[in-house]
């Protein structure tokens, strides 16, 4: 009888551990299948305990080797990121690609604005590369009718407009036309309202202060 109780207790414990592992895996999976920098404040390297940059740079090491090196001013290879973002199906790759674009955008844009008065050539290079990155999720939004991905892309653009990241508020008005054009590709009422609200905020930012 005692052996049976011990076996039962061990079995229950194992089931509990397995359930916890499944929940933890589900939570990690859910986080990965989203835009991961909402509420991260000034930083784009991490969001709380979520090491976003360390995670996505493992998938795109060559891309980040260029983006993160201030001495490199040539164009990073975006072909794999674009392919993952526009991939068929509903895998994590799409969201890893989006988060990689977001991290790279905030890194390059922040670096460009911070060095604006120091080196005009570096500013122009970083600013141009940052702006060019914005078209990658815009194109995916236009071509991929995936509600979760579209919501995540809008989360990214809203994060820019929110202005919490370093120097993001200084350049946010540049994305007005890009965001406004998304409405023509959208049929969902809730996302149309998000786009219109975001466009209105961008228009307000462009008004003379």
Phi/psi class of residue 72: alpha, beta or left (left: φ > 0; alpha: ψ in -120 to 50)? beta
Around Cβ 57, how many Cβ atoms within 10 Å? Answer: 19
Q: Alpha-carbon distance 160 to 60, whole Å?
A: 22
Global confidence as pTM = 0.83
Residue 133 confidence (pLDDT):
96
Residue 125 confidence (pLDDT):
86
Mean pLDDT of successive 10-residue stretches along the chain, which has 209 residues: 45 39 39 91 92 96 96 92 88 94 96 76 86 95 93 96 90 93 96 97 80
- Does residue 81 contact residue 60 with C-beta atoms inside 8 Å? yes
Residue 207 confidence (pLDDT):
66
Give the residue from 168, 49, 146, 27 showing the smallest Cα distance to 97: 146
- Does residue 159 contact residue 105 with C-beta atoms inside 8 Å? no
Give the residue from 129, 159, 132 showing the smallest Cα distance to 34: 159
Q: Alpha-carbon distance 165 to 98, whole Å?
A: 17
Give the residue from 56, 135, 127, 61 showing the smallest Cα distance to 92: 56
């Amino acid at each position: 009888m005692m052996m049976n109780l011990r076996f039962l207790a061990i079995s229950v414990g194992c089931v509990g551990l397995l359930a916890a592992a499944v929940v933890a895996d589900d939570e990690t999976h859910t986080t990965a299948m989203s835009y991961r920098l909402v509420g991260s404040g000034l930083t784009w390297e991490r969001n709380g305990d979520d090491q976003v940059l360390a995670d996505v740079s493992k998938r795109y090491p060559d891309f980040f080797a260029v983006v993160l090196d201030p001495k490199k001013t040539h164009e990073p290879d975006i072909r794999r990121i674009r392919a993952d973002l526009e991939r068929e199906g509903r895998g994590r790759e799409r969201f890893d690609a989006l988060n990689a674009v977001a991290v790279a955008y905030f890194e390059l844009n922040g670096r460009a604005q911070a060095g604006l008065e120091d080196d005009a050539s570096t500013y122009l290079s970083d600013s141009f590369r940052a702006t060019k990155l914005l078209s990658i999720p815009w194109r995916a939004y236009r071509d991929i009718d995936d509600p979760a991905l579209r919501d995540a892309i809008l989360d990214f653009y809203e994060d820019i407009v929110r202005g919490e990241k370093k120097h993001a508020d200084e350049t946010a008005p540049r994305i007005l036309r890009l965001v406004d054009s998304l409405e023509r590709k959208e049929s969902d009422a809730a996302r149309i309202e998000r786009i219109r609200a975001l466009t209105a905020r961008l228009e307000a930012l462009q008004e003379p202060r």
